Structure 1
Amino acid sequence: MELTQVRLFVTDFAACYRFYADVLGLKPQSGAEHGPYEKFSPASGSAGIALQDRTMMARILGDLAEEATGHRSLVVLRVDDLGACCEEIVARGAVLLHGPAPMTDRMRVAHLKDPEGNLVELQEWLSPRP
């Protein structure tokens, strides 16, 4: 098995598109700013993050509410320099909820939310796993 993407169901597609492209700096695959689908790729790694219009998926699945209730995901992105990354994204409009701060002796993290309330964790690996 290979992870190809984490898909987030969103109601304000354009706001989330701008967040992942302009604030976090991920590369959109096709430029579909208004949806109903777009995949974003980080500078390194093979998996990406995709946005999917929640209403469209609610029609397809039949049992998915048109609005989310509570947290349904955590997007985790690894960065080389957490402090510099946080400075850059805050300057572009992100609001940090936590961090940068140590999570373990091998990792520092920061947390924020996208415009839909999905949690995003930025990780800096201080040392590799044994």
Structure 2
Amino acid sequence: MELAQVRLLVSDFRACYRFYAEVLGLKAQSGAADGPYEKFSPVTGSAGIALQDRAAMAEVLGELGDSATGHRSLVVLRVDDLDAYCAAVLARGAVLQREPAQLTDRMRVAYLKDPEGNLVELQEWLLLRG
């Protein structure tokens, strides 16, 4: 078994596309800014994040509502330098929900939200497991 991707169901596809491509700096697979689907990949690593238009998926399943409520997902991205990355995404329009801070002896984190309210955790690993 292999994890192919984490897919977020979104209502405002264009705003979320812009956030993941332009604000976070992830690479779009096909450039489908109007949806209904796009996969994004980090510069390094194999895992990806995909956006799926919520209305299109509702048609397929016949059971999704028009919008999600509460925190339904958490996207986690590991970065080499948390402070530098946060400065870069702030310059591109992100708003941090929590400034960079120590979470454990092995990790620093910061949090922001995408345009749909999905939480994004930015991690800087301080120590690798031995």
Name the structure 2 match of 1:21: 21
Name the structure 2 match of 1:46: 46
Q: Distance in 1 between matches of 2:82 and 2:4?
A: 24
Q: Distance in 2 between matches of 1:29 and 1:40?
A: 6
Name the structure 1 match of 2:124: 124
Name the structure 2 match of 1:91: 91
Unaligned segments of structure 1, at least 5 residues: none
Q: Deviations over 1:31-65 (max 9, x none)?
A: 00000000000011101000000001111112211
Q: Distance in 2 between matches of 1:128 and 1:64?
A: 40
Alignment RMSD (CA, Å): 0.7
Identity %: 75
Partner of 2:111, secondary structure, is: strand
Q: Distance in 2 between matches of 1:81 and 1:36?
A: 33
Q: Distance in 1 between matches of 2:45 and 2:73?
A: 20
The alpha carbon displacement at 1:99 in A equals 2.1
Q: Distance in 2 between matches of 1:80 and 1:2?
A: 25
Aligned residues: 130
Matches within 5 A, 1:104-123: 104-123=104-123
Segments of 4+ in structure 1 off by > 6 A? none
Q: Which moved more, 1:119-128 or 1:57-66?
A: 57-66
Q: Distance in 1 between matches of 2:67 and 2:109?
A: 28
Q: Please tell me whether residue 32 in structure 1 is matched to residue 8 in structure 2.
A: no
Q: Please tell me whether residue 59 in structure 1 is matched to residue 59 in structure 2.
A: yes
Unaligned segments of structure 2, at least 5 residues: none
Q: Distance in 1 between matches of 2:69 and 2:95?
A: 21
- TM (norm. structure 1) is 0.98
The alpha carbon displacement at 1:114 in A equals 0.2
Name the structure 2 match of 1:3: 3
